[in-house]
Amino acid sequence: MAIKFASRPFIIVAAAGAMALGMGGYFWKEENRPKVLDIYIFNLSSGRSMFIRTPDDYRVLIDGGSNPDVIQELTKILPFYSRRIDAIIATNTDGKNVAGLIDVLDRYEVDDVYLPAVTLQSLGLVSASDPTYESLLQEIESQQAIARTIARGNIILLGDEVRADVHFPSKPESFAYSLASSPEVLFTLRYDNTSVTFLGNASHKVQEFLASTSAVSAKSSDSAASSTTSTNVIQTDAAIVSNSALPANISANLMSQLVPKYFIYSRQPQSSSSGGPSLPKSTPSKTSKKKPAKIPPDPFALIPIDHRFNIKETGTIHLVSDGESLVVR
């Protein structure tokens, strides 16, 4: 019996040593993470959210979904001892995409919050902002984060090596907004020779606008953005949309310019067995002299089927770039 009691201190010391060793390994792994750009597209129950961690550990959360679920996703990625998120980007004012950001601001230390410079309210298309968005603005003020508005032509510097080129929203005088084609922050992330383009819920009309005005050259009044930007939407390693990838919703013109290696979306696009868009079947009348309907171009023609990812089927998507190539893990 005495031997058993004598062994207890040894067991306690050994357990404490093992724990310290494990914690040391955890800290070492976090402090020596690979110098890569990590992009996570979360599979939330409602709404959308993305998280970016740059090679120099600059952390950016884009949208937050409709509830606190995003917190659970963040805890899987960030070290448990850290409560730092450097920047938040709210791409629109829809409560289902920004509600989770209120919980994030309450839990994490956030320096900068980027908001769309053009909104449905500023355009006069709605009489008042979404109440959840108003709550977000109040939380930003309460937490003393710096709110900055962004629009087409701005560049957001994300740390020392990554930037976001903002392509939309545009000035009201250059684009005819409507409830169906509303303002939303669309951008391309760039890290050395790799890029990822976020198209959100952009309507076909907005996508055609981007395709026809791909050159961006504008002066910025935002101190967080560069004074001048001149870049192109054209060509990207991955394109991300938040809506269902029905061929009717995706601009083949824009896709032919982007030529994404990977395409990430929310629901399975309806397509024919050949991979092209499915079209309604009809039996032409023998007496009809009408010309057959013109088959629209397939926006996914240049994207291999195994490079199309539905987050509702696969779960969270993890993109990794070393600056030369981008892969899905």
pLDDT, tens digit, 9 for 90 and up, residues 83-118: 999 999 999 999 999 999 999 999 999 999 999 999
Look up tokens 């922050």; give the residue.
185
Q: Per-residue pLDDT for 294 more than 50?
A: yes
Average pLDDT rounded to a whole number, residues 54-68: 97
pLDDT at 131 (0 to 100) = 96
Q: Per-residue pLDDT for 282 more than 90?
A: no
pLDDT at 184 (0 to 100) = 97
pLDDT at 113 (0 to 100) = 98
Give the residue from 179, 140, 148 showing the smallest Cα distance to 164. Answer: 148
pLDDT at 280 (0 to 100) = 39
pLDDT at 15 (0 to 100) = 62
Q: Per-residue pLDDT for 278 more than 50?
A: no
pLDDT, tens digit, 9 for 90 and up, residues 7-29: 677 777 666 665 655 555 545 45
pLDDT, tens digit, 9 for 90 and up, residues 202-253: 999 999 999 998 743 333 334 344 433 444 456 899 999 998 878 888 999 9
Average pLDDT, the chain: 85
Measured CA to CA, the distance from residue 40 to residue 53 in angstroms comes to: 9
Give the residue from 121, 66, 113 showing the smallest Cα distance to 85. Answer: 113
- Side-chain half-sphere exposure of 172, counting CA atoms within 13 A: 11
Secondary-structure class of domain 34-270+297-328 per CATH? alpha beta
pLDDT at 245 (0 to 100) = 79
pLDDT at 225 (0 to 100) = 47
- Per DSSP bridges, beta strands 215-219 and 228-232 are antiparallel
pLDDT, tens digit, 9 for 90 and up, residues 245-268: 788 889 999 999 999 999 999 875
pLDDT at 33 (0 to 100) = 80
Q: Per-residue pLDDT for 169 more than 80?
A: yes
What share of the chain in percent tops pLDDT 70?
Answer: 76
Give the residue from 138, 160, 213, 168 showing the smallest Cα distance to 35. Answer: 160
Burial class for 281, CB neighbours closer than 10 Å (0-12, 13-18, 19+): exposed
pLDDT, tens digit, 9 for 90 and up, residues 176-203: 999 999 999 999 999 999 999 999 999 9
